[in-house]
């Protein structure tokens, strides 16, 4: 067995076992989060928990659709995106989920910052519901571009428009999916953490303080998870753009990474 064959085999095994583990744990964890945020009165009445519930729903949809298709394609060499309509629906849902989820996390970090600041009046459920709907609707309209330009002319789901492909390569992935949400999350999570420390020193209402600290911790966990899972992908994506090699062994190494 050549080095290339070993790398391809390793890539398939990683996609099968690691991918399945992530998908199962992610779905179970998402359901668990939804149950906690919607049943416990302490969290049910907070806007941050409402945003995190929306994040969990988007993540579950993403895992069930995007991850399952990737596992079938990369792990079992069974790509269901060979037909045009499946390719279009898949890319539409994938783009929508990959944009909605980090945006909702950004909203959660911003809300947590607002809830512990002088702008607390902007942290309310009605405003949060409107934000969830508007953001979800906006990204659904944005994703239509991918629905239009992606197709499977040769049995491979690809971008069929060179200009749109350039936009996706140089703006969609590095900016909308990378720099913009990550910088927003990190900035407002640090501000929320600072506000939480300030509230402790002021010794305000113990119940509210305990709840805000728990929500801040949960939000920070979400931010850390998004950064850990997104940053390597963006780095690898930028790295792959600068690789022009036709060496099949090097390509296999890149796929494994």
DSSP state of 171: I
141: enclosing H helix or E strand? helix 125-142
First to last CA, the chain: 20
Query: What is the pTM assigned to this prediction?
Result: 0.83
pLDDT for residue 21 is more than 90: no
What mean pLDDT do residues 207-235 have?
Answer: 74
**Domains in the chain, ordered, with CATH?**
3-256 (1.20.1070.10)
CA distance 220 to 212: 12
CB-based contact 54:132 (threshold 8 Å): yes
**Could you read off the pLDDT of 87-104 as tens digits, one per residue?**
999 999 999 999 999 999
Is residue 187 exposed (0-12), middle (13-18) or buried (19+ Cβ within 10 Å)? middle
CA distance 16 to 24: 12
**Residue 254 pLDDT > 50, yes or no?**
no
CB 150 within 8 A of CB 142: no
pLDDT in tens, 140-187: 999 999 999 999 988 888 899 999 989 998 899 889 988 899 999 999
Least confident of 65-69, 108-112, 149-153, 168-172: 65-69
Among candidate residues 187, 184, 199, 47, the one with its CA nearest the CA of residue 116: 199
Least confident stretch, 213-217, 223-227, 250-254: 250-254
- Of 225, 232, 234, 230, which is closest to residue 108 (Cα–Cα)? 225
Task: Number of helices (H) and strands (E) in the chain: give both, helices first.
Answer: 13, 2
> Ranked by mean pLDDT, which of 60-64, 127-131, 135-139, 207-211 comes out on top?
135-139
- Alpha carbon of 233 to those of 53, 136, 177, 226, 255: distances in Å? 25, 23, 10, 11, 12
More confident residue, 7 or 172: 172
Task: Please check the confidence at residue 3 and state whether its pLDDT lies above 90.
Answer: no
Angstrom distance (rounded) from CA 161 to CA 163 = 6
Instruction: Assess whether pLDDT exceeds 70 at residue 77.
Output: yes
DSSP string, 57-98: HHHHHHIIIIIHHHIIIIIHS--GGGSHHHHHHHHHHHHHHH
pLDDT at 73: 80
pLDDT above 50: residue 252: no
Task: Tell which residue, 94, 238, 222, 125, has the closest CA to residue 179.
Answer: 238
Neighbouring C-beta atoms of residue 72, cutoff 10 Å: 17
Q: What one-character DSSP code corresponds to residue 160?
A: -
Per DSSP, 177 falls in state: I
Report how far residue 43's alpha carbon sits from residue 45's, in angstroms, rounded to the nearest whole number. Answer: 5
């Amino acid at each position: 067995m050549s080095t290339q064959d070993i790398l391809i085999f390793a890539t398939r095994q990683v996609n099968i076992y690691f991918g399945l583990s992530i998908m199962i744990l992610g779905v179970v964890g998402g359901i668990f989060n939804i149950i906690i945020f919607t049943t416990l009165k302490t969290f049910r009445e907070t806007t941050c928990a409402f945003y995190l519930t929306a994040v969990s729903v988007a993540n579950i949809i993403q895992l069930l659709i995007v991850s399952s298709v990737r596992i079938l394609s990369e792990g079992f060499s069974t790509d269901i995106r060979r037909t045009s309509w499946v390719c279009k629906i898949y890319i539409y849902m994938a783009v929508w989920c990959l944009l909605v989820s980090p945006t909702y996390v950004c909203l959660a970090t911003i809300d947590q910052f607002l809830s512990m600041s002088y702008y607390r009046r902007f942290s309310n459920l009605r405003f949060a519901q409107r934000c969830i709907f508007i953001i979800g609707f906006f990204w659904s309209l944005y994703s239509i571009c991918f629905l239009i330009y992606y197709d499977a002319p040769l049995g491979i789901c690809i971008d069929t428009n060179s200009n749109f492909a350039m936009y996706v390569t140089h703006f969609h992935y590095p900016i909308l999916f990378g720099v913009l949400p990550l910088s927003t999350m990190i900035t407002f999570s640090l501000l929320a953490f600072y506000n939480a420390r300030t509230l402790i020193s002021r010794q305000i209402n113990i119940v509210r303080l305990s709840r805000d600290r728990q929500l801040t911790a949960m939000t920070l966990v979400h931010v850390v998870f998004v950064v850990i899972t997104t940053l390597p992908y963006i780095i690898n994506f930028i790295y792959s753009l600068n690789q022009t090699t036709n060496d099949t062994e090097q390509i296999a190494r890149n796929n494994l990474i």
